[in-house]
Structure 1
């Protein structure tokens, strides 16, 4: 498997957040990560899985024409 391993700062930049958010995800075990010595790396596929599991699809509403009562 050819997976890129991203640092906490790289994940934060991709998500548009501070480094605190990915660190909290790691601490709460809400995202997969790999320990390499004292460094923590997040596989790119884990980031995609996390985002896919939290993606909310829009609700498609039927458009009903307004009708006047006689």
Structure 2
């Protein structure tokens, strides 16, 4: 599957692109924002089709970056 030239990715392509499972995408999309859960990347719906824009995925991935070691997070 060649996704390098696509702007809008389907669920399977998105899971591959971000390195997460399709079930994560589905569950986080349905749950919305919940405490201690990773929020879903932004998505769009076209009819019944769910698509993810590559630029949104890149921004979402960048927002997941942690700048402190997890063991130090409680000390802040």
TM over 0.5: yes
For normalisation by structure 2, the TM-score amounts to: 0.60
Once the two structures are TM-superposed, the CA of residue 33 in structure 1 deviates from its matched residue by 1.1
Segments of structure 2 that go 5 or more residues without pairing to the other structure are 1-5, 34-39, 70-76
Q: Which protein has the bigger helix share? A: 2
RMSD over aligned CA atoms reads 2.1
Larger Rg: 1
Q: Which runs of 5+ in 1 are unaligned?
A: 60-70
Q: TM-score, normalised by structure 1?
A: 0.65
